[in-house]
A and B are shown apart, each in its own frame.
Chain A
Amino acid sequence: MDKLSTNQIAWRAAQDIADGAYVNLGIGFPEKVAQYQPPGREAIFHTENGILNFGESPAPGEEDWDLINAGKKAVTLKPGSAFFHHADSFAMVRGGHLDVAILGAYEVAENGDLANWSTGPKGVPAVGGAMDLVHGAKRVAVIMDHVAKDGRPKLVQRCSLPLTGVGCVTRIYTSLAVIDVEGGRFVLREKPPALSFEALQAATGAELLLSGPVADLIAPEL
């Protein structure tokens, strides 16, 4: 079964980002999406802690610790960047000014509910900007493995973990599929050609709808 690697999932998500789009990438895995922008397209990346149009990490030893992203990693600036305070930053988020937010997830439900901030009552709870980021962006996309490490589906009928947001996810890029959330259902858009629909459905915790053509999900070696 040709399962996409994490780099390939990030690559696939990057193909849907238009030139000039304003984009927020969640901490961790979603940050990889920035590496795979198609040639000729340049998105403008937003970080919650107050930078628009930041670039790659600096070389080790070149860090400026006043210039960090939401994951507290050092970044650099691109020409035409801007600084702003936290209230303006989240006005950009909730106010509908971002084109796309790409987040990781523990679970996504067929009604678009997202669980990505808490695995339960143990330990120290931490939410950061997750609950804000799921509101306001024109598209809220999730990138994740299709199933959890123990094989349980991450695409489910209803989330079992604490919710980050209700009915907020519009598209999911996984290691096995590209799926849209439409009318409270998962609609299959792409799958690897060698993977049967039945096998994909078996790895998915809610019904996959076929509505229109299903394209081949093929990513380059990365």
Chain B
Amino acid sequence: MDKRVADLAAAVAGIEDGMTVMIGGFGGAGSPIELIHALIDRFRATGSPRNLTVVNNNAGNGHVGLAALIEAGMVRKLICSFPRSADPVVFTELYLAGKIELELVPQGTLAERIRAGGAGIPAFYTPTSYGTDLAKGKPVEEFEGRPYVRERWLKADAALIKAETADPQGNLTYRAAARNFNPLMCMAAKETIVQASRILPPGGIDPETVVTPGLFVRKIVEVPHPRQEEDLNRAGAVYPLEA
């Protein structure tokens, strides 16, 4: 079995108009910048994909990565916990102009909804958000005398993931706190697309250290020296990047 694809363009070729796409990362850490940029390249060349629903913890920062995807006009709706950043201008302007939809989800609920989506659990109860505006309209049930809010699973057509190492079977490891939402999103998407800094031969990853088992992964592409969103933003970068 070999899940490697030739290049970034081939990796994102299956993402179509109107799809729900989960994008890993917490701020810049673990954000698959190169996969996002490949998707923007396809849109600029072909006008597709558009009307995407994107699931991410944030709403992009500056003018690269997720912010550039939004700026390109490809995103109809964002599902996230914290649409603010050092430079959230792209999302902020579109949101205040009523040109992009926002579903605000508490961060732990977002993580658990994605986990539930991947685990085949359609709904679960959480204490989070009980009695707040974000629980409006949601069923409440008491357990051991305390109220809990029912939340639903979250699934996606595709997930864009950043890993540190992969093997051809799709087994993955992550780097430091770049792990965050990535392993959960791998489980919750029909087509999980991974950029890995290194692809090792079969057996190159000790089974004891695998974080995401290859079963959850569909496509892998090697991106040896991935850019960091924070570095790009500090340099004032705007996508498309100058060579």
Contacts and interface: CB of A to CB of B under 8 A. Distances in A.
A63 B27 CA distance: 15
Contacts of B30: 66
A123 B93 CA distance: 10
A146 interface: no
Contacts, number: 141
Nearest to A67: B176
Interface residues of B, number: 54
Contacts of B110: 86
B242 interface: no
B180 A86 contact: yes
Given A68-B27, A131-B129, A165-B132, A87 B112 contact: yes
Nearest to A90: B108
Interface of B: 26-30, 57, 81-86, 88, 91-92, 95-96, 102, 104-112, 114-115, 126-134, 174-184, 211, 228-231
A162 B129 CA distance: 11
Interface of A: 47-51, 63-68, 72, 83-87, 89-90, 93-94, 113, 118, 123-132, 135-136, 162-166
B221 to A, nearest CB: 19
B108 A94 contact: yes
Contacts of A68: 26-29, 177
A166 B130 contact: yes
Nearest to A71: B27
Contacts of B85: 72
A85 B129 contact: no
A125 B104 contact: yes
B131 A166 contact: yes
Contacts of A125: 83, 102, 104
B231 A128 contact: no
A85 B128 contact: no
Contacts of B129: 131
Given A90-B108, A93-B108, A65 B181 contact: no
A26 B175 CA distance: 24
A70 to B, nearest CB: 8
Contacts of A113: 131
Given A124-B84, A130-B106, A163-B132, A90 B179 contact: no
B177 A49 contact: yes
Contacts of B131: 113, 163, 165-166
A126 B83 contact: yes
A78 B120 CA distance: 37
21 contacts: A47-B177, A49-B29, A49-B177, A49-B180, A50-B26, A50-B179, A65-B28, A65-B231, A67-B29, A85-B181, A86-B26, A86-B111, A94-B128, A113-B131, A124-B102, A126-B81, A127-B105, A132-B128, A135-B128, A162-B133, A165-B130
A128 to B, nearest CB: 4
**Which one of B57, B115, B175, B179 has the highest number of Cβ atoms from chain A below 10 Å of its Cβ?**
B179
Contact of A127 (B107, B111, B180): B107
A104 B134 CA distance: 20
Nearest to B80: A126
B192 to A, nearest CB: 14
A81 B184 CA distance: 21
B184 A85 contact: yes
A125 B78 CA distance: 13
B88 A124 contact: yes
Nearest to B92: A124
A87 B28 contact: no
Nearest to A86: B111
A83 B29 contact: no
B183 A126 contact: no
Contact of A87 (B105, B111, B128, B228): B111
Given A87-B184, A135-B128, 6 more contacts: A85-B181, A87-B115, A94-B128, A124-B91, A127-B134, A131-B106
Given A67-B176, A165-B132, A127 B28 contact: no
B26 to A, nearest CB: 4
B107 A66 contact: no
